[in-house]
Structure 1
């Protein structure tokens, strides 16, 4: 008998290769997952690069800025940049004022927009479609168009250069970006089963009690999304805050970290001239440190509420801005 000594060559299976690379109905393929993760890494790098650059530069002394061999990692973590930036921005006082300026209108936004959204979702009344059209149009309308008429109106009401310029519109459901918040609540409350509302009415609950006991507890995801979006938009708003609250003509005692960052160079130069040699000259590292201090509270808040925020966005069916 003739002994077989040959080696059996593997046969290329096109269907199996395609299944491994592209996947099937039950499992995603390696090639498809690789493309997805590559796109996510590229998109994430685009968003993370400015933040990583800012963090790296904020810890660099001026010698590292002048040394071309130092790119990302500083020779030592120079915390004096943050100390000097915090002194220039009067950080703790400005931080408390920022929380008040962003927090109080945000709470009013949540309360009033939820009431208005519930009214649009649960009640039919004359002129409802027209009011919804006006609501959407006011959201599309650029804020620059209504900025000066609002300034004149607030001046006549004598609420300029105070927190009332943000509280008064938010109380009337016309706060910053309140239109999209009303639409979020409107869409969410439409998904609440009507049978629950009718059952509460059978048990003797009125309109307000049904709203508080049935609608609000089920709207926790929408409330969290509106709260986070609103406080971020109020926190980051510099021009309207400086125009209405801080004072464009006559200065008030109110300011925010973002407004202080906007005037950081002038404030730091004045502080440096008063302090003499105790503070270094203005450089890129100190600017980056000031920027980090202005966004640090938002980053901490996002890291704490990240899981709840992602789940809430998924349940409310929005993508954010």
Structure 2
């Protein structure tokens, strides 16, 4: 093989996706996309650790001259972070667990069982998926007020227990898609052993749906953690609020201080610190579960 042919082989390869040129372009694209997503986080972190001299120096943009933790401490104090973290963790975890159980049952029923008006109920499910939450929020507030659930966790937890929590229709569709791909011989073998519908679901179908469970649990947890709309509607008078609502209150408080003459340069790092404290648990969660999450997305058919 001559030098020219060897150089062409190394540069392009026998196939287009095997050569050095393709790999360089691919890595450049991946680095560019990663930077687009990481830039806001990097800006958030570098801003919240800037001291007064760095904030007033226009030459300091990305790399502070020294680390300053005062803004982060102020954000912890204004958010009442420990208490709000416990509230967010409670609501998100219980909502995720309830949605996994209820949506798995509903998804199994739509995928494997025959019952009256099945198509009608499935159409109603799709309708709840596309209908904005703002359409039903007022009747929901009136209902929960009559039940005495306003300023409590129940308006977020009880709907999740019955598969109608945040994005519940999507989770039912995920389980339906997963259960539809399983072979019918598994159910037939269980029926020959005398198992009923509930036993087949609990002993056969649910244990092998770990990939779908991981996807639904993580999606439900993250969306419940980030949701500020429903908690602000149902818990507007509560003293213990989740971090998402605490961030909204913090922004409103800082906006008032800015109107009263506060320097915006010193208020922005507090916002950045509060935002970082809220997304930090999600970053840690994803760091430990990303492998199972990616596998779950592939197996449940979300990539199709």
Q: Is the 8 A contact 1:135 1:179 kept in 2?
A: yes
- Please report how far the alpha carbon of residue 175 of structure 1 lies from its aligned counterpart in structure 2 after TM superposition: 0.5
> In the alignment, which of 150, 159, 162 is matched to residue 140 of structure 2?
150
Q: Is the 8 A contact 2:174 2:300 kept in 1?
A: yes
Distance 1:161 1:23, change over 3 A: farther
> In the alignment, which of 89, 103, 108 is matched to residue 79 of structure 2?
89
Distance 1:259 1:203, change over 3 A: same
- Please report how far the alpha carbon of residue 282 of structure 1 lies from its aligned counterpart in structure 2 after TM superposition: 4.7
Deviations 1:45-94 (A, max 9, x none): 11111011101111111211111221211111112221111111111111
Q: Is the 8 A contact 1:23 1:32 kept in 2?
A: no
The answer for the alignment partner of 2:226 in structure 1 is: 236
Q: Is the 8 A contact 1:268 1:282 kept in 2?
A: no
Q: Is the 8 A contact 1:122 1:189 kept in 2?
A: yes
- Please report how far the alpha carbon of residue 32 of structure 1 lies from its aligned counterpart in structure 2 after TM superposition: 2.4
- Please report how far the alpha carbon of residue 20 of structure 1 lies from its aligned counterpart in structure 2 after TM superposition: 4.1
Q: Secondary structure at the match of 1:204?
A: coil
Distance 1:11 1:89 in 2: 65
Is 1:17 the equivalent of 2:8? yes
Query: What aligned pairs does 1:9-48 form with structure 2 within 5 A after superposition?
Result: 17=8, 20-21=11-12, 23-24=14-15, 28-48=18-38
Q: Secondary structure at the match of 1:218?
A: coil
Q: For this pair of structures, how many residues does the alignment match?
A: 296
Is 1:305 the equivalent of 2:282? no
Distance 1:270 1:38 in 2: 44
Q: Secondary structure at the match of 2:136?
A: helix
Q: Give RMSD over aligned pairs.
A: 2.4
Is 1:171 the equivalent of 2:161? yes
Distance 1:239 1:93 in 2: 19
Q: Secondary structure at the match of 1:233?
A: helix
Deviating runs (4+, > 6 A) in structure 1?
268-271
Distance 1:303 1:255 in 2: 26
Instruction: Structure 1: state its 5+ residue gaps.
Output: 1-9, 272-280
Is 1:202 the equivalent of 2:192? yes
- Which deviates the most, 95-104 or 146-155? 146-155
- Please report how far the alpha carbon of residue 268 of structure 1 lies from its aligned counterpart in structure 2 after TM superposition: 6.4
> In the alignment, which of 245, 269, 275 is matched to residue 285 of structure 1?
269
Is 1:215 the equivalent of 2:205? yes
- Which deviates the most, 149-158 or 233-242? 149-158
Q: Secondary structure at the match of 2:62?
A: coil
Distance 1:198 1:126 in 2: 22
- Which deviates the most, 170-179 or 156-165? 156-165
Distance 2:114 2:280 in 1: 45
Distance 1:319 1:73, change over 3 A: farther
The answer for the alignment partner of 2:247 in structure 1 is: 261
Q: Normalised by the size of structure 2, how large is the TM-score?
A: 0.89
Q: Is the 8 A contact 2:87 2:242 kept in 1?
A: yes
The answer for the alignment partner of 2:152 in structure 1 is: 162
